[in-house]
Chains A and B, each alone.
Chain A
């Protein structure tokens, strides 16, 4: 295998003796001190994440909105400067190609707008290839993969906003949820979004690669008395699982459609056509066969991806897609797909954990919801 690419922060992670691993071709920190400690710090104070492996694609030109509107399951044409939307990319058969965030941002020139599409690291090359034939019909739209010229940093947790407040030129507190803006940190441009993948309040920042280390260290400095810790991809996964958020390659893949994934909210079919809209219109009208559910397991063993789910009569009814010990609940939790007829909250199931059937109750997710401020 080719050696992993570094992010602008890889050397910092290594200097802190983080446990590193390849993730989607990038040399990424899995943990610094331990998954549970990093998870708890994010829930109670603030966690700082290098998420530079996420793909970042820029769409510019007068018809950029029309191209994206043709590709995304959410409407893009009505997006205003500063808005962020969660959306899916589907193929013609309504299979999920990726889940993404699309942002509408002000051009650095101050004239007009451009769009930024944040895609999953593991899907970036696939999506860039998939875009090409569609983009050919929009020759005036310039698509640039800016992933390797930039870095992406998330700061998440109840203290995240307070930590960021003194650092940016424009007010961060006034930035609404799923809103984004271009501001400056020490004279250098930063795209700041009130988004995240942990279930906590917080921000995701995109900076030029050469500015990444300075921004990272300034965030740590600003948060030094507010409990900030660097957090690896291990806790990022347990945090998103508690928050009930899907992960591509686990809950989502091309054999999964948005409705069974319980992501119908990210599909806008009214008065528009886009790639996959015919298949989605058809699927929306028929009852789903399977549904994404949460599972609360008995005992202390976690069910992992691929574990079979049975009903109490030992009929196979589904499969686990993600599972872990939940640091917040101190018990194992999971997500998976099960037969729609057996997916009601409270339904008792059995999950095969390496040969032993363990009782698990269908439950709602998120498993964790932050307290209102």
Chain B
């Protein structure tokens, strides 16, 4: 399955989330964020079972130049992480929305998603930067 970035919701901090019918959210980072970071060399993932809050740091991504925290766009429990991703960060450059997913979260407050940016608003934010 390929995820269309137009169907995703975005945090202003550049993470995306896709929520399925069981209220499981898949989280990643946007193509814009990957482009801005460039030259990724490291990613730290959360432990499965960790409780994350919307807007809270759940991991970090490091480029040659700098370290950037990853913020969860939603609240809930981490039920799965993409453990092979840190060893193949190139995927984020080619397919950040499908193969480049980072973690899956069982949402504790699904309505939070409504407060996130839709694709057009997020694009507007990025072009304003």
Please state if B38 and A34 are interface contacts (CB–CB under 8 Å). yes
Please state if A301 and B64 are interface contacts (CB–CB under 8 Å). no
Partner of A35 from the list B39, B42, B44, B86 (CB cut-off 8 Å) is: B39
Partner of A300 from the list B38, B42, B65 (CB cut-off 8 Å) is: B42
**Contact residues of B between 57 and 72, Cβ < 8 Å to A:** 60, 62-65, 67
Please state if B41 and A302 are interface contacts (CB–CB under 8 Å). yes
A195 interface residue per 8 A CB criterion: no
Please state if B38 and A35 are interface contacts (CB–CB under 8 Å). yes
Please state if A234 and B65 are interface contacts (CB–CB under 8 Å). yes
Please state if A300 and B41 are interface contacts (CB–CB under 8 Å). yes
A324 interface residue per 8 A CB criterion: yes
Partner of B41 from the list A30, A31, A325, A354 (CB cut-off 8 Å) is: A325
Contact with A along B2-13 (1 / 0, CB 8 A): 000000000000
Chain B interface helix/strand/loop/mixed: strand
Chain A neighbourhood of B86, CB < 8 A: 300
**Contact residues of A between 209 and 259, Cβ < 8 Å to B:** 234, 238
Closest 10 CB pairs of A and B: A300-B42, A325-B41, A36-B39, A34-B38, A35-B64, A325-B64, A301-B42, A35-B39, A34-B39, A300-B41
**Contact residues of A between 139 and 181, Cβ < 8 Å to B:** none
Closest Cβ neighbor of A353 among chain B residues: B67
Chain B neighbourhood of A238, CB < 8 A: 64
The interface of chain B, by Cβ under 8 A from chain A, is: 38-39, 41-42, 44, 60, 62-65, 67, 86
Looking at chain A, what size class is its interface with the partner chain? 10 to 19
Closest Cβ neighbor of A36 among chain B residues: B39
A55 interface residue per 8 A CB criterion: no
Chain B neighbourhood of A354, CB < 8 A: 60, 67
A327 interface residue per 8 A CB criterion: yes
Chain A neighbourhood of B38, CB < 8 A: 31, 34-36
Closest Cβ neighbor of A331 among chain B residues: B41
A304 interface residue per 8 A CB criterion: yes
Distance to closest chain A CB from B57 (angstroms) = 11
Expressed in whole angstroms, the Cα–Cα distance for A36 and B38 within the complex equals 9
Closest Cβ neighbor of A235 among chain B residues: B64
Please state if B62 and A302 are interface contacts (CB–CB under 8 Å). yes
Closest Cβ neighbor of A33 among chain B residues: B38
Distance to closest chain A CB from B93 (angstroms) = 10
| 19 residue pairs from A and B, CB less than 8 Å apart | A30-B65, A31-B38, A35-B38, A35-B64, A36-B38, A36-B39, A36-B64, A234-B65, A300-B86, A301-B62, A302-B67, A324-B64, A324-B65, A325-B39, A325-B42, A325-B64, A327-B64, A332-B41, A354-B60
